[in-house]
Structure 1
Amino acid sequence: MILDVLLHLADEPESSIKCGTGSSSYPSLGVLPIVGIGGVGKTALAQLIYNDERVARHFELRKWVYVSDNFDVKRISKELAYDSVHDRIPDDISLDGILGKVGDATRNKRFLFVLDDVWDETGSKWRKLRGALTSGAKGSMVLVTTQSPVVAEVMGTMDPIELKILQEDDYWILFEHCAFGEKILEEERREKLQTIGRKISEKLHGLPLAGKVLGSLLNSKLDEDYWKMILESEWWEHEYVLDNILPSLALSYEHLNANIKQCFAYCSIFPRSYVFEKDRLVQMWMAQGFIQNKSQVRMRMEDIRDQIFDELTRRYFFLPTLTDKYVMHDLIRELAVYVSSDECLVISDERGEIPKTIRHLTLRTDKKIDAIMDPCRLQNLRSILFFGDYDSEKFYSFLGGILKQSKSLRVLDLSCSHVKLKKLPDAISGLSHLRYLDVSCTKIKQLPKSFGRLCHLQVLRMRSCHLKRLPQDVNKLSNLWHLYGEADTISLITGIGDLINLQELEEFRVTKKRRHEIGELKGLRNLRRRLAIKNLENVTSKEEAMEAMLKDKEHLTALHLVQNLDARRLLDAETEIFEGLQPHPSLKELSIKVYEGIKFPTWMVESKFLTNLEFISLDYCVRLESLPPLGQLPFLKELHLGNMRAVKRIGREFYGDTGVAFPSLEVLKFKGFGEWEKWLEADGAQFLPRLRILDLRDCYKLAKVPLLFLSSSLVELSIDYCGDFGSALPGCLQSLTSLTQLRIMNYHAQVSLCLSNLSALKHLKLWNCWNMKLVGGLQFLTTLEGLELIACPKLIESSEPVQLHEEQGLRTLNRLTIDDTVLLQNLWILLGSLPSLQRMHIVGCHGVTNFTRIQELWFQQLTSLQELEINDCDSLESLPTSLANFPSIRKLDIFTCPRVSSLPGNGLSTSLKELHIDGCPLLKDRCQRGGADWPKIAHIPFIRIDSETIQML
């Protein structure tokens, strides 16, 4: 509903979507600005475009970056060039270096980038970034959201979308949805609330953000008196409160609980457009003592903190991003700054003196660091965060001075500072109140020797660090709750078992070294979420394994047990050791990699021990001859089984004794069962009733399979390098009416398939199926969108042309990949006319030298074709003459066709906007300016040959 309303914000919403699909009518990079005042819905509209299915299919690469008032080219470039903030970014990489990485990441790819909340009106920084984006494929786009018309003018290459406030009727639809939601009320009560709600909505001036925030407040209490109190609040007396704070936002803040207000106000120390991680923020709240259990009902602290964060999100004080993180709208942040101005402060270049009342401080520059060296202004600091660039030598002494004076410091965060700091000042060990320390992404190589004196430290973050050793007394941090770092770093801690309050330990490596044995896990009863225990080959007995006391760790949700592939021990000892690794029954996810036993431990065989499991992965259980009865696990949703070379038969022992085998399973994957021959049905029991995805790979001898017993709920079926399934494969395809994806690869047996019943199929992939035939062809797949046919020479038997009825063609197909084995068959019979085809790849044509007359005629009916790629055709000597006649084609790629000597004599289509040629030496010279074929391509705006741009109009 909200998205429907937001579409009306643009004068022509559909035209914005069309621009967002990278229209090749723009000869260079397209930049579309979205302009409007704060809270009008710019980001929401950009997200709507970004998430549109048509847009997602059209762009090979999509990225979203929050920019804000600091257009930091280096930071933005890193986010565009790398997939994750935890990716290894080279040390000391220069701006030119990172811009080069952007060029590499985007080269020859059609991309969509969103730069959200841009304020830089000079354009100089944007021009640096724009230069790195020119290597992308034609039709690449950048969406820019901004409040500034000047930014739109400087950056835009097309007319901006100018968002206006919503008109009254549209605004009421939005406001009513937020205020009432899906709640059902008596008609009279609803009418009274609607009357009050109409009056409130009129005060919000058509701003979507205000409607969502205040609507969510009203939704929390559908009471007439409460709504009247909101309507009659004194906040409405001013159009704006101080500093442009909307009264609707101030009202919502006023109705928060006291501890939630405190948590919200603290967020003002983060810069504009800062991207919040939920765990990181709530850990800072905890470090400040903002979250306490004052309820009479006993609750876990993590439940209380989740409630607070979720309440702020429900009230739209936090907005979820596309990557499970959160941002705060500018207007909301301004409110946070207003209510916290006495205690919270962000210092940037223009800021001068710091008030003595400040408790939480953020520095964004080193130009003013001397201003806070007055001891009387530091002694009451509780938080200090660093953002931006700092001189390394100056910063070390500066930081040491702060730490000596700020004895009450509880939060210290260096993770967003660009400083080459190799070590922490020794003064940090004197911060007895420090609860939260983040040195992630710094160059720090060691911690002070007396680091263990930080007896109240709760959170230590050391991700992407270069720590080569840790102090011996790290295990004295007995109040540590959360520990984050690279596995190599964590494994350096001697006696980690002394950290008895630890709640998160992502990986523990077992060694035979003293205080690094598996018994260190014994006292860590509070571990939560995920734990991976590696190098289990270093555990020598059941008694030693039991010392980990895994069955007492009730808060763990995921457990991964890993050995090295070359691990060797006696078979009975293997089973006994794993008996000692029994987890708590509340476990939801279990993964075992490398198990040498010939039978599983008792807790894997008897379902009563692990009744809550939802995910299981078993890999390299190479001696196991039969699988445990996993079919009786009531909540199991996903099961991955791999590399079990001794299994020859799967049957009743796998299903268990219940009446329904795998009652909740949705995903089932087998891989690397090299000796598996028979998969038997469930002998009358109901079998996989909810299965949606079945994947069989590298099961070379598998011949008997219960495909005929599969539920019609199956939507994806993948078969790769398996044996001869006989009649089971064609038989099952008659009943799998919900199937949307079918992939059959490297299937060498003779088989005839009829696909006429697959009325929901959207994607079909047949690779290397030399003896496969399609009875009735593909003509009945009326919903097919993507088709890949490679190395399948016998799909049709007859070579005589037939007259196809229009309704039998692949009317919805928009993507097609074929090779010479398909081209040499009659395309009219196999594929028919393809009126919706937009992208076609012709690859690996080693047996085709020229296109026949019938093939040329078939090409001519592809009137919707927009992109054509001809790749790896080493025998091909000439291109199809129909390239001149495609009315809709925009992009042509000709790759690795060394014998193609020229372009067609009749030239290329006048609609073509982009031409890429690579690995075609005979074409290269002819297609240069002044070359023999240049007159045929001179009209094309963008031409690239062997990675060199020849023309960009």
Structure 2
Amino acid sequence: MAEALVSVVLEQLVSIARKQIGEEVRLVVNVDREVENLIFHFNAIQAVLQDAEERQVKEARVRNWLRSLEDVSYDINDLLDEWNTEILKHQIEQEEKEGVALTKRKKVCLFIPSPSVCCGRGPIDKVVRRHDIAKRIKETHEKLTDIANSKQNYNFHENTIRATEKLERAETSSFVEVSSIIGREEEKKRLMSMLLSESSQQERSPFVVIPIVGMGGLGKTAFAQLVYNDDENIKTHFDTRIWVCVSDPFEEIKIARAIAQALNKDDNRINSTSLQPLLECINEYISGKKLFLVLDDVWNPTIDNWEPLMGALQNSAIGSRILVTTRKETVAAVMGATADHVIHLNILSDQDCLQLFNKIAFFDRERDDQLEVIGRKIVKKCNGLPLAAKTLASLMRYKKNRQEWVDVLDSKIWDLKEIEQQVFRSLFLSYYELTPAIRRCLLYCATFPKDYEFNKHELIQLWMSNNYLSTEGDKEKETLRGQSYFDNLVMRSFFQDFDKDDEDNIESCKMHDIVHDFVQFLTKHECIVMEVGCDNERNKVLNDKVRHLCLTSISDGSFPVSIYSCNRLRTLLASRLRLSALSLDIVLQLKCLRTLDLSYNLITDVSKEIGVLIHLRYLNLSWNLKLEELPDTVGNLYNLQTLVLENCRALKTLPVTTRKLINLKHLNLEDCDSLKVPKEIGRLKNLETLHGLILYDDVDENKGLIKLGDLGNLDQLRDIWICNLKSVQDVSEVNKALFVNKKNLNTLLLNFDQSMDASESEEGELQREMDEKILNAFQPHTNLERLVIGNYHGLTLCLNWMMSLHSLKMLVVGFLPFCELLPPLGKLPSLEYLTIDDMKSLKKLGIDFLGIDDQLETPTILFPKLKKLRFESMVKWEDWEGVEGHREGEDSEIKLMPSLSTLTIKSCPNLKAVPDFLWKTPLQKLVISECENILQGCETASGREWDKVSHIQNIKINSKYVQKDGVRMEPETTEIS
């Protein structure tokens, strides 16, 4: 990790040398010379770091040298960050004082300028001297000098320039997903036979345990997932399917809670910290049900901790199955599996391994005979391990010429004897191809436990909080750079098991347990995952070398004592530990924190001393349901970039001092139902995301709260969710928000939050008119890509500005009880995803919806890029018209929806028919449910709608797939949502 860390510190030093030597730094005696010397030594060290990073695996003395370098680099990083923070603090204090004076003279509000505004000379030298910056810089410089001089003892080679940066900038989200399992046909056939047979009726237990045993990297989990997601057999055969990631250690309480939560997430017993209530919950809800339970990645169960779970599962129905994946043969015996029920997963044949390799390595390009010959030799080094083949193939996909392929084949990494895991050699090859910054982002993932589900956006914010995404002079693009880094790791196969949103964008992912072993191998002294409140807290040595710590499992509501030795900790993840407070002692002990996650706890009080955490960039207090207020000292966290308060439902207001968080980029207030937001939030000019902003009526008791007009200066906004728009009674507030000028805005969610019924009262009519005025005034910039409109009570949605959104990709309109007419959405050139939900008054979709009118020029294409179309809860919808005479020729002048792949129609009971033009679309998936009038027409070849839908590969009617010619269509493993 030293290579990326040195880059970050060098950036800080160069910034100070360029921007501050002539101003603040000169006020500290001789410090300018010290800074120059630090830059000189870091440049000299950086030149050999690539060689040092690669040699540390084999040479312990090089590894120790790198650790010393990391220690002093962290110290300098903290020192420079503290220095910059003090300067920023002084600047803000001066502006606050000037603001008070200005307000008294002119009675106007002060606007806080951006942090780039220079502060004057004045008392800044006192601030710097007070923190003894000069002395500490000299001390760290002496340490660095020793380290720089000692590098000559190792005969390091200087770095060669990397050629991968171009790839990382050019590629965005292009990657290969290997959805099929290669070379496991016989094993799958045998496993399916065991799962679907009724042989357990002769057994003493209602269920059979079936272990899948094999070494790491063989694809045990992927094989189990293939079976678990089988629509045709498994999903219809079992009443309940449950997947639990176990890992090491085998914690019966944790496993029992996961099972109980899957059976009934609303049962209060799932929050119990003791085993018995959880077992009772399982026993109750599993009664008489045929269960398919997968226990993934089981390591070390004992009879004592397995038997209680087994006893609770005895109440399941005959034919239940427990599928276990494990690397250890002994697990099968402990869990009661018989020898004839064990499936041994062996290595792939050379032919199968080569097929997997070629599928990825030559994706989207022509085969090359020379490269294929080299590829066969590389595949032999994979030793039949699918993960190794997949990782190497993802690497070779971006190698364009023969010499690059030969370099991988001849790499010295294949000769590493120090690596226990064979697949690690393949991972090292891909790892060293990454730039230092992306390596550091990957290694940070070692902070999380195995099988952790990473939320992409959260992970990017965590990377940002640790300064992994920073580039001098380009701070505003950190989020985009984080997205690029994430995509790069996806393309290199470091992530897997993707969950996607409606637009096929990755929302979350996991890391293969071998990849997790790999990143932990490289960070074992720096990144620690520790289970607290149980015996597994043993064997974890915590000291000041630990920089990133994740606490998991059940706690007694307090931090473990051992954490107090981690006084240089930068990341503390302490979610779901039943903590009741962020106490004074923990704050004062961990002053180096950049990242603090206290979500899903029982916190009622945050110590006012939190203001001393001046390095803090990320603070997550979400799902602390009893938290009512934050201290004013939160305003002292000048470096804070992300503040997450989602579902803090008792939180009443934000402190006015929040205005001082001028580096804040992400503010999440979603589902903070009681929260009243002060108008000062409108001063945070660096805000990029603002979720869950609730507006209130401008009455006396709500004076000082934020209004739409206060958002006018937030020009960096990329994503905003606005709630309770019904409270806006002045259209000028919408105009002052200047959404038309926000060129960076990507996503806009507008929720009117109206609870009124569909009556025709005078009050309701006035509100409907106001809704229309407000929405029509809400013209965003034409760069907008996603628009969501909900709980809108206007009569029409014919917005002129919507037709100007040439970049709009996704549109969702929902809960529009009075609206009967939609705009001509077919004219939107970029629209790919359209959802229309709960428009209770709409009766007909006609040619106006498609965009056909007298001014339409032909030939033309309407809905040219639409991929997914969804209608739901349209209770009065009867007619869906297309274009008359569309069957008269293939050369029709009007083409409709030529890119449509998925159509979903749910709870539209009065819809009479699907439109005739569907037969011309390239539809691949059709989902219909609770639509009585059209269901039978689409089910069989004799149905009246069949000629319109017969070309569709996957048709799902009321959760069942339609059969063609007596043969059930083979669906994909991913269910259509």
Match of 1:491 among 666, 675, 689: 675
> What amino acid maps onto 1:320 in structure 2?
D
Residue 421 of structure 1: how far off its partner (Å): 4.3
Which structure 1 residue ranges, 5 or more long, are not aligned? 741-757, 767-780, 787-809, 816-953
Could you say if the C-alpha distance between residues 739 and 319 of structure 1 is closer, same or farther in structure 2, counting changes exceeding 3 Å?
A: same
Match of 1:667 among 869, 894, 901: 869
**Contact 1:9-1:164 at 8 Å conserved across structures:** no
Match of 2:487 among 298, 310, 321: 310
- What CA deviation, in whole Å up to 9, does each residue of 1:327-349 have, x standing for no partner? 33333233322322453334552
Match of 1:617 in 2: 813
Secondary structure at the aligned position of 1:280 is classed as helix
Query: Separation in 1 of the partners of 2:845 and 2:593?
Result: 63
Between Structure 1 and Structure 2, the one with more strand by share is 1
Match of 1:166 in 2: 348
Residue 641 of structure 1: how far off its partner (Å): 6.0
Match of 1:469 among 648, 652, 673: 652
Task: Say whether residues 1:373 and 2:564 are aligned partners.
Answer: yes
> What amino acid maps onto 1:561 in structure 2?
N
Match of 1:125 in 2: 305
> What amino acid maps onto 1:438 in structure 2?
N
**Contact 2:914-2:945 at 8 Å conserved across structures:** no
Task: Say whether residues 1:18 and 2:197 are aligned partners.
Answer: no
Match of 1:413 in 2: 597
**Contact 2:919-2:949 at 8 Å conserved across structures:** no
Residue 308 of structure 1: how far off its partner (Å): 1.5
Match of 1:890 in 2: none
Could you say if the C-alpha distance between residues 322 and 89 of structure 1 is closer, same or farther in structure 2, counting changes exceeding 3 Å?
A: farther
Match of 1:31 in 2: 209
After superposition, where does 1:326-341 map in structure 2 within 5 Å? 326-341=509-524
Query: Separation in 1 of the partners of 2:213 and 2:468?
Result: 38
Which of the pair has the greater relative contact order for Cα pairs under 8 Å at 6+ separation?
Answer: 2
Match of 1:429 among 611, 621, 624: 611
- What CA deviation, in whole Å up to 9, does each residue of 1:732-760 have, x standing for no partner? 956743526xxxxxxxxxxxxxxxxx998
Match of 2:322 among 142, 151, 161: 142
Between Structure 1 and Structure 2, the one with more helix by share is 2
- What CA deviation, in whole Å up to 9, does each residue of 1:218-261 have, x standing for no partner? 33213332333333333233344378883332233222211112
Counting matched residue pairs gives: 740
Secondary structure at the aligned position of 1:487 is classed as coil
Query: Separation in 1 of the partners of 2:627 and 2:780?
Result: 36
> What amino acid maps onto 1:270 in structure 2?
F
Which structure 2 residue ranges, 5 or more long, are not aligned? 1-175, 501-506, 531-535, 757-763, 887-892, 971-977
What TM-score does the superposition give when structure 2 sets the normalisation length?
0.66
RMSD of aligned Cα (Å): 4.5
Match of 1:582 in 2: 779
**Contact 2:264-2:285 at 8 Å conserved across structures:** no
Query: Separation in 1 of the partners of 2:489 and 2:939?
Result: 52
- What CA deviation, in whole Å up to 9, does each residue of 1:921-952 have, x standing for no partner? xxxxxxxxxxxxxxxxxxxxxxxxxxxxxxxx
- What CA deviation, in whole Å up to 9, does each residue of 1:309-344 have, x standing for no partner? 222222222222568533333332333223224533
Secondary structure at the aligned position of 1:488 is classed as coil
Query: Separation in 1 of the partners of 2:690 and 2:445?
Result: 27
Bigger-Rg structure (1/2)? 1
Match of 1:518 in 2: 708
> What amino acid maps onto 1:73 in structure 2?
E
Query: Separation in 2 of the partners of 1:40 and 1:722?
Result: 47
Could you say if the C-alpha distance between residues 610 and 105 of structure 1 is closer, same or farther in structure 2, counting changes exceeding 3 Å?
A: farther
> What amino acid maps onto 2:636 in structure 1?
R
After superposition, where does 1:242-641 map in structure 2 within 5 Å? 246-293=424-471, 300-321=477-498, 325-347=508-530, 349-351=537-539, 353-364=541-552, 369-374=560-565, 378=567, 380-386=568-574, 400-415=584-599, 420-442=602-624, 445-446=627-628, 447-465=630-648, 467-473=650-656, 475-476=658-659, 477-488=661-672, 491-495=675-679, 496-512=681-697, 513-514=702-703, 515-529=705-719, 531-553=720-742, 554-566=744-756, 567-569=764-766, 573-600=770-797, 602-603=799-800, 607-609=803-805, 612-617=808-813, 619-620=815-816, 622=818, 626-636=821-831, 637-640=833-836
Could you say if the C-alpha distance between residues 663 and 206 of structure 1 is closer, same or farther in structure 2, counting changes exceeding 3 Å?
A: closer
Could you say if the C-alpha distance between residues 89 and 455 of structure 1 is closer, same or farther in structure 2, counting changes exceeding 3 Å?
A: farther
Could you say if the C-alpha distance between residues 448 and 106 of structure 1 is closer, same or farther in structure 2, counting changes exceeding 3 Å?
A: farther
Secondary structure at the aligned position of 1:402 is classed as helix
Query: Separation in 2 of the partners of 1:735 and 1:352?
Result: 65
Query: Separation in 2 of the partners of 1:346 and 1:653?
Result: 54
Secondary structure at the aligned position of 2:307 is classed as helix
Match of 1:655 in 2: 851
Query: Separation in 1 of the partners of 2:765 and 2:329?
Result: 69
Query: Separation in 2 of the partners of 1:250 and 1:723?
Result: 59
Residue 414 of structure 1: how far off its partner (Å): 2.9
Match of 2:225 in 1: 47
Residue 164 of structure 1: how far off its partner (Å): 1.8
Query: Separation in 2 of the partners of 1:694 and 1:437?
Result: 39
Query: Separation in 2 of the partners of 1:270 and 1:132?
Result: 30
Query: Separation in 1 of the partners of 2:617 and 2:847?
Result: 55
Task: Say whether residues 1:112 and 2:254 are aligned partners.
Answer: no
Residue 437 of structure 1: how far off its partner (Å): 1.8
Query: Separation in 2 of the partners of 1:695 and 1:209?
Result: 39
Query: Separation in 1 of the partners of 2:272 and 2:682?
Result: 39
**Contact 1:556-1:587 at 8 Å conserved across structures:** yes
**Contact 1:450-1:473 at 8 Å conserved across structures:** no
> What amino acid maps onto 2:824 in structure 1?
P
